[in-house]
Amino acid sequence: MSLSMYQASIPVFLRNLNNLSAILKKAEEHAKVKKIEPDVFINARLAPDMFPLSRQIQIATDGVKGCAARLSGVEVPSYPDTEKTFDQLQARIAKTVEYVKTFKAAQIDGSEERKVTLKLRGQETTFWGQPYLLNFVLPNFYFHMTIAYAILRHNGVDIGKMDFIGSF
């Protein structure tokens, strides 16, 4: 049995966004218990030239909603990048999960050769659907998910590999 574009995208996104939500919940609880201002986590970064936690989550959710929309041939919804609290970040993740859940396999499957054009660093870049998903979206998604996890772990939140991967 072959793996479809839908199977390689939507369930992967949903599982990982739910894991990200659970990790953020642990971070919020950690902040309360340790009496740490939530802004410390929201604005934390691994290096001075890297984006903070809030931006990592914004980029991860943008990639997911953009991928689902582009592979199905619909317009990508725009979210303002204004999240400054755990609740706002959780709401963004939930909004993205609900959006992605609206897509059916029939909308995504067969998009392997759909042309996807993005503006990256001021230049238009065109992909075919399958390389767009496998070589651009998924690596970027996992990068920003990993950085969000690493920021929280680096700042003392008690999370581990199974929090990132999730339960089976």
CATH number of the domain at 61, please. 1.20.120.450
Q: Does residue 168 have a pLDDT over 90? A: no
User: Do the domain assignments include residue 166?
Assistant: no
User: Do the domain assignments include residue 149?
Assistant: yes
Q: Does residue 64 have a pLDDT over 70? A: yes
Question: Average pLDDT of 17-22?
Answer: 98
SS3 141: helix
- How do residues 25-57 score in pLDDT, each as one tens digit? 999 999 999 999 999 999 999 999 999 999 999
User: Do the domain assignments include residue 168?
Assistant: no
Q: What is the pLDDT of residue 167?
A: 84
Question: Average pLDDT of 83-107?
Answer: 98
Q: Does residue 1 have a pLDDT over 90? A: no
User: Do the domain assignments include residue 56?
Assistant: yes
CA separation (Å) from 39 to 36, 61, 82?
8, 20, 14
CB count, 10 Å around CB of 22? 15
User: Do the domain assignments include residue 95?
Assistant: yes
Determine the Cα angle at 53 with ends 5 and 29, to 5°. Answer: 105
CA separation (Å) from 58 to 14, 17, 90, 107, 160?
15, 12, 11, 24, 22
Q: How many domains does the chain have?
A: 1
User: Do the domain assignments include residue 28?
Assistant: yes
User: Do the domain assignments include residue 79?
Assistant: yes
CA distance 54 to 107: 30
Range of 129's domain?
Answer: 5-161
User: Do the domain assignments include residue 98?
Assistant: yes
